[in-house]
Structure 1
């Protein structure tokens, strides 16, 4: 196991936006987030995906969240569901549309939330896992927040995720309590050795782990290559910061994937498995810097998660200059 701390190879790999691009160039991000009355996490994740460069973002959320989300972020497409919706049909429709999925922010852990997540993973298995679709879409799945809480307690969802992760990159973003639920380790064990927790979980489950903390650890799918972000940003210790990170991962991934001319310069290689690791590392770095940037404007105690999200684009431009 090797742990890298030098951010420069990743920062130097950020591509400029292609001059002849359109919204299709930068992908379709589906944000499965927000249970009944919990629209904030969905908004922050979708906002961050747009602020980091995604071409088109769509909410898949409880119908009760329609008005507030369409008011807060009219640029995003919206689709709602409730207890009367055919969850199988709506999941299949939206997974067929998407090439990047964020599942979990503010989703809740109700029976309805469990069912929509289960149907989404089933739709991914049915729609994404053939070689031709993988070649065309280069899709990824980002599982965050309540998506992880549901995963930790539903064996069938664990089995579905294992099947997906064999073919498509999966990124999980636990904080120590969520990792405790997922791994069976105590919170203290995780705090004492977050690198080992991330490495073991990635190696055991063949997915990328972003072990969140003051020095976030990112493990690749083998558990052998790790990056530690030493750029601390206390302004991020606010509710909603994790939702912003999930959206940033999606948006940064769409930037890297679109710029095929620069992919050979990335720390990873040209396949989407390695691009998803590069996007994970870059997103953590950019997220931390955005927190610092926002703190200069609002004070380190006054930063809100949406301030961090709205700073992401400025930070990317600074890195490119």
Structure 2
């Protein structure tokens, strides 16, 4: 299995053109949060914004609007119960990330189906957390023509693939991913997380136990969304997002026993500037 090196950051993170506007850097829709898990929507959308996404819209339950607007004034909000507004947002955004803190209610199930039924070839759909559980439990086929990125931890991947954690080896993971959707990209979150895409398998060797904290996966999903919005969908783009997330985590872990997702988010722009130098 190929090891993803720090060079991937220099390869993907490019300097911004002097004449730029927000529309150049991706329109991202994040469908996340619920009464119990509003923080997931905040972390995911904050990570997307700090990663450089040009426009971020958060579709969530209205009772969380104030918290989002105060914590992340850069993000727009819509009510995910409003089917017309939601459909318009799904159609008009390049990247849709769904699942963090969403829960598995009938409303959440309807949201997952709405995304998969209304996205097209030029869009990317990132399926995370609750969305993965819903797809596994409801046996929803991944038939959209959009680019699909799955971001399960090993337990979620077990539900999706029917592979016990002990059976989650390279060949089995590739085979089962191909059965779900032969063009999907899988980010398998674990110690030294792995990425599978077509016939390629790669992994990171960064990351630390201090990152074993609630919200870490939501943050990664936001970084992936922000990167795909700016740099386009590709294996390399997702590799860079995954590596940056854990690279920052390792730097923080040098002086911190526990690495908080919010601390990683705060450092993203600084690290992206470091690797985007025109002199690299």
Instruction: Using the TM superposition, give the Cα deviation of residue 287 of structure 1 relative to its aligned residue in structure 2, in angstroms.
Output: 0.3
Task: Return the alpha-carbon distance in structure 2 between the equivalents of residues 24 and 240 of structure 1.
Answer: 28
Q: 1:96 aligns with which of 79, 91, 100?
A: 91
Task: Return the alpha-carbon distance in structure 1 between the equivalents of residues 106 and 87 of structure 2.
Answer: 19
Q: 1:307 aligns with which of 250, 263, 268?
A: 263
Are 2:129 and 1:145 aligned?
yes
Deviations 1:6-54 (A, max 9, x none): 4244222121122211100001100000022421111111111111110
Counterpart of 1:270 in structure 2 is none
Instruction: Using the TM superposition, give the Cα deviation of residue 216 of structure 1 relative to its aligned residue in structure 2, in angstroms.
Output: 0.5
Give the stretch that moved more between structures: 286-295 or 169-178.
286-295
Q: 1:11 aligns with which of 6, 9, 12?
A: 9
Task: Return the alpha-carbon distance in structure 1 between the equivalents of residues 85 and 165 of structure 2.
Answer: 37
Counterpart of 1:120 in structure 2 is 115
Task: Return the alpha-carbon distance in structure 2 between the equivalents of residues 39 and 245 of structure 1.
Answer: 16
Instruction: Using the TM superposition, give the Cα deviation of residue 119 of structure 1 relative to its aligned residue in structure 2, in angstroms.
Output: 1.8
Task: Return the alpha-carbon distance in structure 2 between the equivalents of residues 36 and 232 of structure 1.
Answer: 31
Counterpart of 2:156 in structure 1 is 178
Counterpart of 1:75 in structure 2 is 74
Task: Return the alpha-carbon distance in structure 2 between the equivalents of residues 22 and 229 of structure 1.
Answer: 33
Task: Return the alpha-carbon distance in structure 2 between the equivalents of residues 200 and 46 of structure 1.
Answer: 32
State the secondary structure of the residue aligned to 2:173.
helix
TM-score, normalised on structure 2? 0.92
Q: 2:245 aligns with which of 250, 268, 287?
A: 287
Instruction: Using the TM superposition, give the Cα deviation of residue 81 of structure 1 relative to its aligned residue in structure 2, in angstroms.
Output: 3.4
Task: Return the alpha-carbon distance in structure 2 between the equivalents of residues 92 and 56 of structure 1.
Answer: 17
Task: Return the alpha-carbon distance in structure 2 between the equivalents of residues 76 and 247 of structure 1.
Answer: 13
Task: Return the alpha-carbon distance in structure 1 between the equivalents of residues 175 and 63 of structure 2.
Answer: 39
Task: Return the alpha-carbon distance in structure 2 between the equivalents of residues 179 and 65 of structure 1.
Answer: 29
Contact 1:91 1:120 in 2 (8 A): no
The 5 Å alignment of 1:1-321 reads 3-13=1-11, 14-82=13-81, 85=82, 87=83, 89-124=84-119, 128-129=120-121, 134=122, 139-155=123-139, 158-159=140-141, 161=142, 163-164=143-144, 167-190=145-168, 193=169, 195-204=170-179, 205-206=181-182, 207-220=184-197, 222=198, 224-257=199-232, 275-296=233-254, 299-301=256-258, 303-321=259-277
TM-score, normalised on structure 1? 0.81
Task: Return the alpha-carbon distance in structure 1 between the equivalents of residues 254 and 72 of structure 2.
Answer: 25
State the secondary structure of the residue aligned to 2:53.
coil
Alignment root-mean-square deviation, CA: 1.7
More helix by share: 1
The answer for unaligned runs of 5 or more in structure 2 is none
Deviations 1:288-317 (A, max 9, x none): 0111233346x132x211111112222222
Task: Return the alpha-carbon distance in structure 1 between the equivalents of residues 218 and 234 of structure 2.
Answer: 18
Q: How many aligned residue pairs are there?
A: 274
Task: Return the alpha-carbon distance in structure 1 between the equivalents of residues 172 and 103 of structure 2.
Answer: 25
